Amino acid sequence: MLIVSACLAGLNCRYDGDNSLDREIEEMSRKGEALPVCPEQLGGLPTPRAPSEIEVACGEDVLAGSSRVVNAEGKDVTSHFVRGAWETLALVRAMGITKGIMKAHSPSCGVEKIKREGRVVKGSGVCAALLLREGVRLTER
């Protein structure tokens, strides 16, 4: 069983109410080989919602309290991102999941790259950072 970003499985949970369908991940989810999650929804954010970015650095810094996640309206949504990351980790632990495929460039799910000010920068999202720290092996699409 893998943990996967729900938008990759075709669920309309992205900030804009759309998805980022990846047919392979959709099929894995249908077969019960992957558990789709949206950390932002698990953290209590609605869909659709204003897009958000990590202000400086990356998800590890948000978890450490030295950076924030702010949406396009200027609202601090850090607590939602952190809560969603911990809820996702709880699911991973409950299911015994050790691997996952997450959405690249996401402030929650990006494993190696996130977006900041319209540019792709090196770093992980909040949820990916927590999962990686806990030993979950992640790749991104």
The mean pLDDT of 14-34, rounded to a whole number, is 98
**pLDDT at 32 (0 to 100):** 97
CB neighbour list of residue 87: distance below 8 Å, 6 or more residues apart:
39, 42, 43
The alpha carbon dihedral of 86, 90, 93, 97 has a sign of: negative
The alpha carbon dihedral of 62, 75, 3, 113 has a sign of: negative
**pLDDT at 74 (0 to 100):** 98
Q: How far apart are CA 127 and CA 70, in angstroms?
A: 15
Mean pLDDT of the chain: 98
Find where tokens 């015994």 sit.
96
Q: How far apart are CA 95 and CA 1, in angstroms?
A: 8
